[in-house]
């Protein structure tokens, strides 16, 4: 079991730990997420990045930050799991990339960028992954309407006589 | 004056002969993107046996097809592909929109899903259902054959009359309200079947 106090001492930043059922979760400041991930991978054996995703806390009760970026880690040898969350805010909404630690972070960070507009500094190829390249908005943001802003209709119409 | 015809000769109109040939040998292009595609496969398989109606030759090249079957939801990333496939099919060609999603977007009323392919490509036959049973697709293909026999011309003159878009205008009041908020939309670039788009933030519309 990773000790939160020991981790906090190593990265030099406080960690807020909480538990829900079997899940151990830690909140960390965005400035210290990369040192924390590095320490966890190199010193504590968390060698697998299970998932990397984000949550938009706009209008969420009691939320102080706009986005939470969530990292789910697994120590394959011991089976220990850990959930890390860090907060980012507009307008910059940038985090350091985790692709240097896990290559698997590549497409997950692209998805987070595509859906939420959170940028990952140092990412080798930060392009949209799901939406078309010409799409300009970030559809999983809570201030984006579910039905979109007309993008789904922005195509030429082919009539029968004209085709 | 009676015309004496030799044996093995009969008279017909060229249109009727062409329609007879065309309607009994439709070559479908399966554009299957969702569960409707499974029903489409079932229709072509032995139990429902689309071959009874001469339409069993599914080709995956649009250049060898004359019946586009859009089976499943079409997302906005896929629509340019669908349009290109339609344009690549040689004349004469027809289109069946199969299932609720292809006809209207179905339950997927979201930013990414096109609300009916008939807004952007011409459709000849609609099949309701979610997904439609193979019998329904068979019925649509039989109706398609009827339509070809009834209206077809050898030079495809019936197509030339269809100059207007088929689907409903996407630019209803609800849609316009949302577009109004979009800073990225260059309204000159939006193409509306109803003509020019009312200016967002403009006088009294929306």
Flag whether B111 is in a domain. yes
One domain, residues B180 and B142: no
Domains (range + CATH), chain A = 4-153 (3.30.460.80)
- For residue B62, the tally of other CB atoms under 10 A from its CB is 18
Residue B183 has pLDDT above 90, yes or no: no
| Residue B134 and residue B192 share a domain | no
Examine the domain organization and report whether B71 and B49 are in the same domain. yes
ipTM: 0.82
φ, ψ of residue B15 to 5 degrees: the values are: -60, -45
Three-class secondary structure of residue A21 per DSSP:
coil
* Domain presence at residue B183: yes
Closest CA to B52 of B129, B139, B121: B139
Q: Per-residue confidence at B189, pLDDT binned at 50, 70, 90?
A: very low
* Chain B CB contacts of A144 below 8 Å: 111
With b meaning 16 or more CB within 10 Å and e meaning fewer, what string describes B104-113? bbbebebbbb
Q: Which two tokens stand for residue B168?
A: 């409903």
Q: Which residues of chain A have pLDDT under 70?
A: none
> Domain with B71 in it: what CATH number?
3.40.50.12280
Residue A118 to residues A32, A96, A101: CA-CA distances in angstroms? 17, 11, 19
Residue B9 lies in a domain: no
Residues B111 and B197 reside in one and the same domain = no
Domain that holds residue B140: 14-160
Looking at the structure of chain B, the number of domains it has is 2
Task: With CB atoms and an 8 Å threshold, state whether A150 touches B86.
Answer: no
Q: Which of B162, B181, B191 sits opposite A157 (nearest CB)?
A: B191
Mean pLDDT of B130-159: 92
Same domain for B132 and B47, yes or no, is yes
Structural domain includes residue B5: no
Chain A: give the shortest CA distance to residue B5, in Å.
Answer: 40
B144 and B80 co-located in one domain = yes
Chain B residues touching A149 at Cβ < 8 A: 111, 178-179, 181-182, 184-185
Does B127 lie in the same domain as B191?
no
Query: Could you tell me which residues come within 8 angstroms of residue A12 by beta carbon, excluding any fewer than 6 positions away?
Result: A32, A35
Q: Which among A150, A159, A160 has the least Cβ separation from residue B179?
A: A150
Residue A23 neighbours by CB under 8 Å, 6+ apart: A81, A83
**Residue B129, domain member (yes or no):** yes
Chain A residues whose C-beta is within 8 A of a chain B C-beta are 131-132, 136-137, 139, 144-163
Report the 3 state secondary structure along A101-145: CCCCHHHHHHHHHHHHCCEEECCCCCCCCCCCCCCCCCCCCCCCC
* Whether residue B197 sits in one domain with residue B154: no
Instruction: Kindly give, in sequence order, each residue whose CB lies less than 8 Å from that of residue B1, ignoring residues fewer than 6 positions away.
Output: none
Mutation for B interface: A130, A131, A139, A149, most B CBs within 10 A:
A149
By C-alpha distance, the chain B residue nearest A157 is B120
Is pLDDT at B158 greater than 90 in this prediction? Answer: no
Tell me the average pLDDT across B137-163: 91
Digit-coded pLDDT (tens) for B97-107:
999 999 998 99
**Same domain membership, residue B200 and residue B104:** no
Same domain as B179, residue B86: no
Helix H or strand E encompassing B137: helix B134-151
Structure tokens at A113: 């960028």
Question: How would you class B114 by CB atoms within 10 Å of its CB: exposed for 0-12, middle for 13-18, buried for 19 or more?
Answer: buried
State how far the Cα of A148 lies from the Cα of A137, in Å rounded to an integer. 9
Spacing of C-alpha B115 from chain mean position: 14
Banded pLDDT at B148 (limits 50, 70, 90): very high
Claim to verify: residue B179 and residue B108 sit in the same structural domain: no
pLDDT of residue B166: 80
State mean pLDDT over B110-122: 91
Whether B20 and B115 map to the same domain: the answer is: yes
Q: What is the mean pLDDT of chain A?
A: 91
- Beta bridge pairs of residue A16: A27
- The confidence band for B196, taking pLDDT boundaries of 50, 70 and 90, is very low
Strands (E), B83-171: 94-98, 125-127
- H/E stretch holding A52 reads strand A48-56
The shortest C-alpha distance from A130 to chain B (Å) reads 9
Supply the pLDDT for residue B134.
94
Find the residue in A nearest to B167 (Cα): A157
Boundary of a domain, candidates B124, B140, B160: B160
Residue B1 has pLDDT above 80, yes or no: no
For residue B1, tell me if it sits in a domain: no
The pLDDT value recorded for residue B186 is 46
Contact A150 B170 (CB under 8 A): yes
């Amino acid at each position: 079991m990773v000790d939160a106090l020991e981790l906090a001492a190593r990265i030099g930043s406080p960690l807020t730990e909480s538990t829900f059922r079997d899940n151990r979760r830690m909140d960390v400041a965005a400035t210290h997420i990369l040192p924390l991930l590095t320490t966890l991978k190199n010193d504590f054996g968390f060698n697998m990045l299970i998932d990397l995703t984000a949550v938009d806390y706009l209008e969420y009760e009691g939320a102080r930050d706009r986005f939470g970026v969530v990292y789910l880690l697994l120590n394959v040898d011991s089976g220990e799991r850990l959930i890390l969350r860090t907060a980012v805010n507009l307008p910059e909404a940038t985090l350091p990339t985790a692709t240097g630690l896990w290559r698997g972070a590549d497409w997950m960070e692209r998805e987070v960028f595509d859906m939420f507009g959170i940028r990952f500094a140092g990412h080798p190829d930060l392009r949209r992954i799901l939406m078309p390249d010409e799409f300009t908005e970030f559809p999983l943001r809570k201030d984006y309407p579910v039905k979109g802003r007309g993008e789904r209709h922005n195509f030429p119409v082919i009539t029968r006589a004209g085709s | 004056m009676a015309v004496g015809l030799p044996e093995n000769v009969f008279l017909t109109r060229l249109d009727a002969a062409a329609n007879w040939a065309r309607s009994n040998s439709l070559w479908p292009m399966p554009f299957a993107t969702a569960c409707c595609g499974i029903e489409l496969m079932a229709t072509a398989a032995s139990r429902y046996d689309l071959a009874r109606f001469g339409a069993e030759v599914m080709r995956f090249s649009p250049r060898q097809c004359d019946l586009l079957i859009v089976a499943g939801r079409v997302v906005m990333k896929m629509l340019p592909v669908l349009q290109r496939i339609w344009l690549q099919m040689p004349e004469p060609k027809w289109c069946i929109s199969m299932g609720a999603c292809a006809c209207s977007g179905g339950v997927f009323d979201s930013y990414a899903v096109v609300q009916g392919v008939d807004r952007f490509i011409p459709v000849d036959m609609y099949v309701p259902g979610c997904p439609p049973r193979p019998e329904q697709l068979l019925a649509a293909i039989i109706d398609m054959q009827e339509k070809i026999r009834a209206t077809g011309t050898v030079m495809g003159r019936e197509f030339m009359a269809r100059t207007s878009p088929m689907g409903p205008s996407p630019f209803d009041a609800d849609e316009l309200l949302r577009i109004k908020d979009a800073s990225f939309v260059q309204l000159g670039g939006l193409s509306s079947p109803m003509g020019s788009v009312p200016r967002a933030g403009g006088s009294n519309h929306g």
